[in-house]
Structure 1
Amino acid sequence: MEQRIGFIGLGNMGNAILQGVLASNIVPGTQIYVYDTHPEKGQALNQSYSINNLSSGRDVARESDIVFIAVKPNVIVDVLNDIQKELKKNTIVVSIAAGVTIKTIANSVGYEQKIVRVMPNTPALVNAAMCSITPNTEVTDEEIAVIQSLLNCIGATEVVPEYLIDAVIGASGSSPAFVFMFIEALADGAVKGGLSRKQAYRFAAQAVMGSAKLLLETGKHPGELKDMVCSPAGTTIEGVQTLEERGFRAAVMDAVAATIKKSQVLAEK
């Protein structure tokens, strides 16, 4: 890849994306430019990968063909206003800030600027993310493919229109928290049954990971896969009935709906 890649902000998510790109070797460190308010982060990466650790976001914007804005949503407008004059016409501005719309970004950098809004999730920290990619009309199909290739370094990607991002947040952005709660509950039940806490977490987490892998790789409907586990008059169907009695599916659907509603409120602000 010939493009020079910039990162403004090296928090958990920005650093996860950067580390994924570096590990993939699709972009050498010499073509990567970074800035963080904690300069020691960039200094460490410079020593390990020979990346360019710059002294300001403006410097990163000036040098980059693609610049990831990986700062908190409450400061992104200030950062965009600061770098706006340094952006080239063809520079692609990639935002990972939740709740910050393309319109808000364009108000700072200009409506003719190439803008991509990305919604990753925390499994990016172990290269197992699911990222939505939403470009504005200035971004070409070839440029979208480049952004996908970068983000595929930390997991998987899907291109979605902006009006669906709130639903993405419910299904993917916020849902790891729900999954962790489910794993914790599974483990608690197993501990109650006599399993050690350490083993319970391992059994539960591996079951969730394996089940997701089975769904993705077979392409089978989740209901079909569930039925494969439910033997007649067996143990699993007893547990399924209990979950249904407790409103398990409705509770999950309500949780996703609540995150969508909150995301819409934040975007309006």
Structure 2
Amino acid sequence: MHSVINNIIQSTEQRISQIKEEEEAKKNEYIDTDKRDIVSKINEKKSQNKVAVIAEVKPASPGKKLRDINPEDAAFIASEMERAGAVAISALTEPQFFHGSIGNLEAVRKKVMLPVLRKDFIINKLQFEEVRSDLILLIAGILEDHLEEMVDIAIEKGFEPLVEVHNENELEKALKTKARIIGINNRNLSTLEIDLDTTLKLIPVIKEFDRINGSHHIIISESGMHNADDIRKVIDAGADAVLVGTSIIKSGEIYAKTRELVNALD
């Protein structure tokens, strides 16, 4: 892993050590029936020949601050994304490197009716007790041999796991889990370089697995998409949805940019 990613993991471990014992008492609080279904949202958008965009409330990337976003801002940004046709909202909760917060996620989920993805570095089951979300990101390259266990716990807790992969080895592990949604991260976590061809290379592997096993996975392309051409490239390759944050936030025109991406197939 890149040194930045290792630093984030170390910071996350420190956060976990500070989770209060009372969080453990909440362990059944989030097992409920109000989970918002992203799969139906994606299928509905595809039936309209529109792009299923998961739009991200993203204050920063490591080393690159985009804008200050407090809970009130997060709620407004998410509402603009929803109004523009996004199928879900991704909210960053990693505080030190991405300047996200639990408060931002809570404000977003209270404001919008869309499914909300918690975007963070989930490495310990205690993190499932921190906040309610509809989906939760699990990164195969970080969880490695613990991936299947964490997917099972996420499902048990009422979350829809979005398992993120970058290469065939990680994908092989992901396909052995019960996860219905596979996110292909075009960013290499060892070099932090982005290549959209990563999506193009891994989609056929997923499709072949599903053909042989009679299964069906939702495929989401993540990172590195800035315009309609980028979107069309991964959708034409077979992606069901895209996750976009930086280009929307940097545009300064949340509604207009989200709408542009949703309508990229027009």
Tell whether the structures are fold-level matches, with TM greater than 0.5.
no
Higher RCO (CA-CA < 8 Å; seq separation 6+): 2
Give the TM-score, by structure 1 length.
Answer: 0.32
Bigger radius of gyration, 1 or 2?
1
Give the TM-score, by structure 2 length.
Answer: 0.32
Which structure shows the bigger proportion of residues in helix conformation? 1
